Chains A and B, each alone.
Chain A
Amino acid sequence: MFDYVLPDLVSDVVRDNVYKSQDVYRDLFDRFPADKIALAWTGGKDSTLALWIYLLTVSENSLPMPKVLFIDEGDVFDEIYDVVDRVVDKTGIHVSIRKNDDIISRAGGMLAEVTVAELSSRNRAEIAKLGYTEPVFAFDPESSVGNHLMKTVVLNSFIEEQGIEAVVTALRWDEQTARQAETYFSDRTEPAHTRVHPILHFTERMVWQATREMGIPYCSLYKRGYRSLGTKSGTMTVSDIPAWEQDLENTSEREGRDQGKEAIMAQLRSLGYM
């Protein structure tokens, strides 16, 4: 078992943020048995931090180890797998790695055409549920069909198969304004489970301060300027200096992923709408 304590040099502000997350985790571990809890780990900075505080809380309280799920959405950076290996080496935890093999084996590469009729009945049913009626789709985990099949369906299958009741994810309030209504615990249906968001209160700056002070492994792409990691083909770097040295407060974390809000506001403003 990974025996981890918060290093002495950790600053008070990081400590306060970590304690707040630990309150959420203790509440979670009180409410659900360990084998009904899974943390969804992407290998990104946020869910790795959430994982670390999860392990810290388990270790401090000598609790049984809950599950850790890594979803391979089919277009993962090699550097993400590197950090998964490093974390596993360092902690000795067991990680369940799942992917939608049915789709990946048939696609064979990004934007390759996948024939719906050749897929498993589960995948066909999920595609029908989306209202998608074409005989083929182009494989891309960041398209709406792709995202559903490669991430949501994999997660839902894991929940159903393992009887999971609580899923931990690493949403943060400052990530994008759409997140601001999120709460630490929120219930989901189909399948029924509780979503738990223990690091909601962390800012991007605080994630980096905590990661570095606590000695948490992180993906090398951040050092090369990436701020937020999606798929290999859908993510660009926005700078060539390490993420934590960038002007985090005045630039967009997800800029390399989608030019979203800022671009919309600029266009609307030019037509006199803001």
Chain B
Amino acid sequence: MALTSFFGKKKRRVVVLGLDGVPYSLLTGLNEKQDIMPFFRRLVRNGAFHPIEASTPEISSVSWTNFATGVNPGTHGIYGFTDFEPGSYKFCFPDSTSIKAPTLWQTLSGRNKRSVIINLPATYPVQPFNGAMISGFVSPNIDMSVHPRSLLPFLKQIGYQVDMNLAQARNDPDYLDQALHQTLRQRRQVAEKLWTEEDWELFILVVTGTDRLHHFQFDASLETSHPFHDRFMKYYRAVDDLIAWVHGKFTEDCHKDSLFIMLSDHGFTAVKREVYLNTFLQKRGYLAYSEPSPQTIQSIGPGSRAFAMDPSRIYINRKGRYPLGEVAADEVEALTMELREELAGITCEGEPVIRNVYTRDELYSGPWTEAAPDLVLISHPGFDLKANVTHDDVFGRSALTGMHTRDNAFCYMNGTSTPVKNVIDFAPIILDFLS
């Protein structure tokens, strides 16, 4: 039992339950059925439940960092899961040490307030702060995913996995099903322990299995005849149980004037076609490779003026910035505009593919805007933009059946609350509430 309730005085607290990659429309669909999410469909009657917008690009590392910092990538510096090392075409993987703006829990540490953060993406490696954290995707080493280290024996004892083996999950539906439930149980075990053992003001728990399930089997949500439709629904019942548990504890242990927030970091929809942007750039003469069968964009060759990085970031190959830079500073603007037109015009069997093409200045502001992609694309639903370089054709399919969307993420907040339109809007509300 938390010390505060021991003395009969409950604290004003903020509880955030994140459901990675859960679209608003999927939840409204499930709420129309009686028996899939019986708790959540009752919960949303009290409070604000509506769609919100994700970050641009709409991937977890960027969107959750927008959530955690309340600032845009031009200020926090995270634009994707991958980047190039300065002055080279070697991949590097931005992590928590690359975030240039204070996070919620760092700001609260400065105010002497404690936070518990479980499985929030883009928090690896954990940095010391006032509270407890088990970092989320991508966390390659459990030893660097845990703060304080004294939690490690407990995590090892329960066999805690930050993520399932995704390569296996992609090919083995039985493993996926088992791993989804196992990781969900483990999140809850950790949450139960830290809920009572820590004396916190902010509690964040994120479920990432939803995103994994959607990548691999989003089609199972839509088609009742799909062989894994029942499994899909069973997982959402388990998620509903978790929501009910967290909300139950919230009602029990928090002051009645406390904040309960649920959100997703992006939406999801079914893939019609994958669209390989580097193949498009190569076919149009903007990109060349140094070898006949490149495996990654690291094999970019001389004569390249632009390239793409996942999911939909377009970079001009600038002189001075990259070893094989071709484009001088005074040519950048004209090329950006030319590419904007070319990319906006991509069609697939007569259907337009691209909904928006943004320049960096339209999206980002702050000291790290220079590191931003020159263009970021948003597609029409169903066209999954990829930077994969191994395809000869611009359009194709893979084993992935779901794709992220920027719109149609969701938000739920208890009581009457400040209107939230975007994942970036929560941080100031939370900090203000706990001031």
Contacts and interface: CB of A to CB of B under 8 A. Distances in A.
Interface of A: 111, 113, 130-134, 137-138, 140, 142-145, 177-178, 180-181, 234, 258-261, 263-274
A260 B166 CA distance: 16
Contacts of A145: 128
Given A133-B130, A134-B130, A138-B150, A177 B92 contact: yes
Interface string B284-316: 000000000000100000000000001100000
Contacts, number: 104
Contacts of B379: none
Interface residues of B, number: 45
B93 A113 contact: no
A258 B109 contact: no
B296 A274 contact: yes
B149 A140 contact: yes
B92 A178 contact: yes
A144 B135 CA distance: 15
Contacts of A259: 140-141
Contact of A178 (B85, B109, B149, B398): B85
B163 to A, nearest CB: 6
Contacts of A267: 137-138, 140, 163, 166-167
B85 A134 contact: no
Contacts of B388: 272, 274
A143 B149 contact: yes
B129 A131 contact: yes
Given A133-B109, A133-B129, A261-B93, 10 more contacts: A111-B152, A144-B125, A177-B85, A181-B88, A234-B143, A267-B166, A268-B82, A271-B166, A272-B398, A274-B82
Nearest to A263: B140
A39 to B, nearest CB: 27
B112 interface: yes
B140 A270 contact: no
B137 to A, nearest CB: 7
A266 B165 CA distance: 9
B81 interface: yes
Contacts of A132: 128-129
A274 B400 CA distance: 13
A181 B386 CA distance: 28
B138 A131 contact: no
Given A138-B149, A144-B125, A270 B166 contact: yes
B428 interface: no
Contacts of B150: 111, 113, 138
Contacts of B130: 133-134
B13 interface: no
B433 interface: no
A144 B215 contact: no
B86 interface: yes
With most chain A CB atoms within 10 A of its CB, the pick from B149, B163, B166, B386 is B149
With most chain A CB atoms within 10 A of its CB, the pick from B93, B125, B163 is B93
A133 B166 contact: no
A273 B311 contact: yes
23 contacts: A111-B149, A111-B150, A113-B150, A131-B106, A132-B129, A134-B128, A137-B128, A138-B149, A140-B149, A142-B143, A143-B149, A144-B127, A181-B86, A181-B88, A259-B141, A266-B166, A271-B215, A272-B274, A272-B384, A272-B388, A272-B398, A273-B82, A274-B82
A181 to B, nearest CB: 6
